[in-house]
Amino acid sequence: MIPMAQPRILVTGATGKVGGAVVAQLHAAGVPVRALVRGEADFPEGVQAVRGDLGDPASLDTALEGVDSVFLVWPFLSAEGASDVIDAIGKRARRVVYLSSAGAGSEEEPGEAIIMFHTELERLIEASGLEWTALQPTGFASNTLLWAEEVRTTGVVRAPLARMARPLIHEADMAAVAVQALTTDALLGTRPLITGPELITHERQVALISEAIGRPLRFEEITLDEAIEQMKAAGYPAELVEAVVPAQAEMLDNPEPVNDEVERITGAPARSFQEWAVDHASDFR
């Protein structure tokens, strides 16, 4: 690892799971960190919260003042407006670490809505002249928080693809890799694929959440069509839903790879889904 001079880092998405973990880990390491927020937010003493909105690039000037590096979480479902944000970052900072997605940049999956906008963001960043790293995590363990209300109120999780398995990754591990990319030169110009330590099915995820909260839960498998309608009714854009659900179905026969990149980069093994469930038990109670 090649340490940088002590940077001042701006973290976007700072009130989210991954961005919040990046803020916490940088602060714990004594690295000056600034959190971009749109409203009121609580951070540990020493973390500077600054108002700004990625949807309004002109609002970022104060947040970017004196910043060396930016951790970028793109909160929208298209790349519209991203060029202006990256230009604004490039005028002040020298490095951006982008939270992308596994498969971004691949020409093999041009129709996948999420992959498409992540790919476009990566290309804009690479062409910007900024130093860059694009983190490409597999499925987020924290996405299972979408089941939290069902777990609390009914004890039944209704979802498709009971046996579909993914190497879900703990947000703390994504953050640990991001901290390395932000504070050392070890990952410059790379797109590390980062995964959880094992493939774990939907059914097993529910069983481990059940163990963590000490209460019986049941997984009830629904059809893909039911899942699509359920997500649309919850307010997810139709284009996104109709891309994501079939893409997940393909993972039944072609699961995502599992690797040891988290350990190689950070020196610590990736946390298991069981550890994640214990860490988040209070969210499901």
Helix or strand or coil: residue 96? strand
Average pLDDT over residues 7-33: 95
* Confidence at 105, pLDDT banded by 50, 70, 90: confident
CB burial string 112-135: b at 16+ within 10 A, e below: bbbbbbbbbbbebbeeeebbbbbb
Query: How far apart, in whole angstroms, are the C-alpha atoms of residue 176 and residue 71?
Result: 12
Q: What is the pLDDT of residue 111?
A: 46
Average pLDDT over residues 261-270: 98
Res. 4: pLDDT tops 50:
no
Query: How far apart, in whole angstroms, are the C-alpha atoms of residue 6 and residue 133?
Result: 18
pLDDT per residue over 168-192, tens digit each?
Answer: 999 999 999 999 999 999 999 999 9
pLDDT per residue over 110-140, tens digit each?
Answer: 445 667 889 999 999 999 999 999 999 999 9
Nearest to 160 by CA among 248, 56, 37: 248
Q: What is the pLDDT of residue 230?
A: 86
Average pLDDT over residues 60-68: 95
Residue, of 41 and 209, whose pLDDT is higher? 209
C-alpha count within 13 angstroms, C-beta hemisphere, residue 148: 13
* Confidence at 100, pLDDT banded by 50, 70, 90: very high
Query: How far apart, in whole angstroms, are the C-alpha atoms of residue 196 and residue 208?
Result: 15
* Confidence at 40, pLDDT banded by 50, 70, 90: confident
CA angle, 182 then 108 then 171, to 5°: 35
DSSP codes of every residue in 265-279? HHSSPPPPHHHHHHH
Nearest to 9 by CA among 41, 33, 44, 45: 33
Residue, of 148 and 5, whose pLDDT is higher? 148
Arithmetic mean of pLDDT over the chain? 92
pTM of the predicted structure, to 2 decimals: 0.93
Average pLDDT over residues 148-156: 97
Q: What is the pLDDT of residue 1?
A: 45
Helix or strand or coil: residue 220? strand
Average pLDDT over residues 242-270: 92
* Confidence at 158, pLDDT banded by 50, 70, 90: very high
Q: Is 223 exposed, middle or buried (0-12, 13-18, 19+ CB in 10 A)?
A: exposed
Q: What is the pLDDT of residue 25?
A: 98
